[in-house]
Amino acid sequence: MCGIVGIVSNKSVSSSIINALKKLEYRGYDSAGISTLNNGIIEEKKCSGRVENLEKILFENPSSGDLGIGHVRWATHGVPNQINAHPHSTEKVSVVHNGIIENSDKLKMEYEKKGYKFKSQTDTEVITIILNDYLKSEDLINSIHKTLNKLVGSFALGVIFKDFKDIVVGARRGSPLAVGYGHNENFIGSDSYALKSMTNKISYLDDGDFCILHKEKVEFFNSNKQKINKEIFEVSNEDNVADKGDFKDFMSKEIDEQSNTTKKCINEYLDKSRDEINIYNIPIDPLKIKKIRLIACGTAYHSCLMAKYWIEELTSIDVEADIASEFRYRKVKLNKDDLYIFVSQSGETADTYAALEKCKKNGVKTCGIVNVVESSIARLSDFVLPIHAGPEIGVASTKAFIGQMLVLFLLILKISKDRNDIDQKEFKKIIEDVKKIPNLIKLTLTKQNEIQEIARDFIDAKGTMYLGRGYSYPIAMEGALKLKELSYIHAEGYAAGEMKHGPLALIEDGMPIVVLAPKDRFFEKTISNMQEVIARGGKVLMITNDTSETLSENIRFKFQIPDAHPNISAFLLTIPIQFLAYHVALLRNCDIDKPRNLAKSVTVE
């Protein structure tokens, strides 16, 4: 992962680099660093931890120079300390890197034999050394080209040089890199969002490309060192502002936004006057789709699992949901009649991107469901459906999950209707339910204080389980993931009916357990499974739209979601499980927006 930025300008660049790094912190916050070229000398400053630590260093000891590079790290090779922080520099070259150099050990040995000494444990430092070495005998273009050719793995790079006083070099293979155009200044960044306060004119490097930024122009080269031109895109300013407002953290803001983001998404896709879903040009005629394969990671994968249930329920199409890191290496039989759907908030997740690339290489039809429309996955997919959730900054995905489910649900409905798998009357009924989602979410959001109270039951728990059947099962998995990543409490999402096959052994007196039991065709069965848990001492938080009093005496707490059709209950179950993870983490003093060891955008495999 990691985030990189580079600027060449006619004014001092360090504060602009710091501002861009703050926007890139979602990609990693293990360390931060900057190199500028000041009076012909490379000045490198770096520290472990957040960009604010680097800012303090620069406040005491400012960096000058009108060109420079910056980095935020998510550690892969080497512990997250100051020595392993990027940039990695010699007197002649300074490099920032996002990605993994898979042959770094071999290269290190090769260059140690030549007499080079390495300071860090990183895979990145070899790039600095190799480039430094080539520059002794080759010109700039050849040195870059030969260096890139020695590297195996994925990377986006930013480089400055002692002897090339007015350029910054960028390169891409596997990891994304955007180029921004300003007035007498140009930029590189891991994404366009980092550059947005400086420019809205963006180009993207493709795999194998490298570029040279000058103040007044940018030169692009392909993997054969041939000069190439790049299309310039204007990125929208609409989602420019991502600030917390009056909220304590981004996560609470993003949870709170979900009524509005779903409303916006529905407005984008639903023609309310005709009750039609505005999704056209699906790359395979819906009548001819044999199978749908959904591929993603983490939370986005849970939205795919949800979609699997909907596809089975609402269409006659076969369906499979896959974890991208598995799919990309499996010998999956790819079929031209199947539709391959890739779901990703960031649109940059390395495993999801690689799985998409595999499909593209095999000529099958792909659809990307993303939040970031300028992302790599959006650009590579045959067909893109944005979720319109606006920037999601909290590492724990919330509004993007709801948005992914919503777009998947609308796509499934559209396909189902086009195939006549669903009749007009049923379709209209479901559309009416869809229209209710934003208001029902709003209602559920007002009950945050109830979850705040019950969260106390979880703070000292050794572990917990989230149980659900049918549509509630993917939400149970999502609930467990949210709790794990935010509060560091072990949690498992389980199919409630599967408990008796082993996990029931984990239940002990006082163990808090979350049971998702909306009034659907699984309700009674889920209740039986819940009783089995209660009988063994489990303290149950039941989330349901059942209003009967009969169960109340056995359960610790019943959280009531508004009454809704089972098709859309997933949207409402999601709110309390988000609140629960949030409040448990808050009570345990965890960093809400930046949980330990994680990053927002996972651009390494």
3-state secondary structure of 62: coil
CB 401 to ligand AGP: min, Å: 8
- Tell me whether residue 299 or residue 381 sits nearer to ligand AGP (CB atom): 299
d(CA 549, CA 542): 13
CB 368 within 8 A of CB 380: yes
CB 107 to ligand AGP: min, Å: 29
- Tell me whether residue 352 or residue 464 sits nearer to ligand AGP (CB atom): 352
Binding region for ligand AGP (CB under 6 A): 297-300, 344-346, 349, 352, 395-397, 485, 601-602
Q: Is 600 in the active site? A: yes
CB 485 to ligand AGP: min, Å: 6
Q: Which one, of 309, 269, 268, lies nearest residue 292 by Cα?
A: 309
Q: Which residues contact 344 (CB under 8 A, 6 or more apart)?
A: 296, 297, 300, 352, 353, 368, 369, 370, 371, 375, 377
> Over the range 515-537, which residues count as b (16 or more CB within 10 Å of their CB) and which as e?
bbbbbbebbeebbebbbbbbebe
Adjacent-strand bridge partners of 157? 97, 171
Q: Which one, of 190, 187, 76, 93, lies nearest residue 133 by Cα?
A: 93
**Signed CA dihedral, 309, 261, 393, 595: sign only:** negative
CB 580 to ligand AGP: min, Å: 14
- Tell me whether residue 538 or residue 595 sits nearer to ligand AGP (CB atom): 595
DSSP 166: T
CB 604 to ligand AGP: min, Å: 11
Which residue out of 308, 365, 417, 600 is catalytically annotated?
600
Which residue out of 2, 265, 304, 367 is catalytically annotated?
2
- Tell me whether residue 122 or residue 349 sits nearer to ligand AGP (CB atom): 349
- Tell me whether residue 213 or residue 475 sits nearer to ligand AGP (CB atom): 475
Mark out the alpha helices in 318-460 (DSSP H runs). 324-327, 350-361, 376-380, 399-418, 424-445, 448-454
d(CA 168, CA 215): 9
- Tell me whether residue 68 or residue 479 sits nearer to ligand AGP (CB atom): 479
CB 177 to ligand AGP: min, Å: 17
d(CA 323, CA 308): 13
Where is 482: in which H helix or E strand? helix 472-487
Provide the CB-side half-sphere exposure for 424 (13 A, CA): 2
Q: Is 2 in the active site? A: yes
Tell me the residue nearest to ligand AGP as measured from the CB: 298
Q: Which residue has the tokens 């339910």?
A: 433
Residues in the chain: 605
Q: Which residues are catalytic?
A: 2, 600
